[in-house]
Amino acid sequence: MTDMLTEALLLHLDSSADGAESVSRRLTALFASAWRGPVRRRDLAEEPVPLIRAPYTTLGRRVERRGATALDDVAALAADEGELREWALTRPLIDQVRAAHTVLLGVPMYNFTVPATLKAWIDRLTFPGAFTGPATGEQVLRGTNFVVVLARGGGYGPGTPREAFDFQLPYLRAYLTNLGVAPERLSFVKAELTRVREIPALAGMEPLAAESLATAIAEVTELAGKLQAQ
């Protein structure tokens, strides 16, 4: 068991544009500090993933038409330098996710959904067949854990006036399960009302905000230990 924990790789991605003020960063840092294996981190705000361009989609369609294709064979299908460049930007991101025992995503809510920095990573990551075994059709992420840490300035939980405005959690749940992540290996941790001190309309909700943050802190710490044992 010790060897398993030592080798369990955590891929840690933050997408918040805030620095020390970021609640999602604070929570992902707690998770990562409790992780007892190697950690590979990328700050998507400081080191953004380049947006996909036309050669990416052209190469992707060619691979899709061809059918099941091993990742090692994709470069040979590139028609020009532009397509090779797009694949060179894409393949490492795919490899990092495939190599991870657990993927940790720090996701603040921006304008009711995810930051553009995270969306750029998602768009590039989602290359046709990247997470399907070409010989077996197996979903290669079925055994990978995903922990999604959400920070939301207001309240978007069930029964709240803005429940229907939440295009953050439902989007990520749909995207990750469609990518092949097993629902039982997908964990969401939410800290709500994080801007209670700055938004007058949230005045009086400080106790709820403190309770939400305390619960999120406890959840990320517990998850870090629990998932390494899987």
Binding-site positions for FMN? 16, 22-24, 109-112
Cβ atoms 105, 147 nearer than 8 A: yes
Complete edge-to-edge strand list for the sheet that includes strand 145-151? 39-43, 10-14, 102-108, 145-151, 186-191
Non-local CB neighbours of 93 within 8 Å, separated by 6+ positions: 49, 121, 124, 125
The amino acid sitting at 45 is: A
The amino acid sitting at 154 is: G
Nearest to 198 by CA among 21, 28, 27: 21
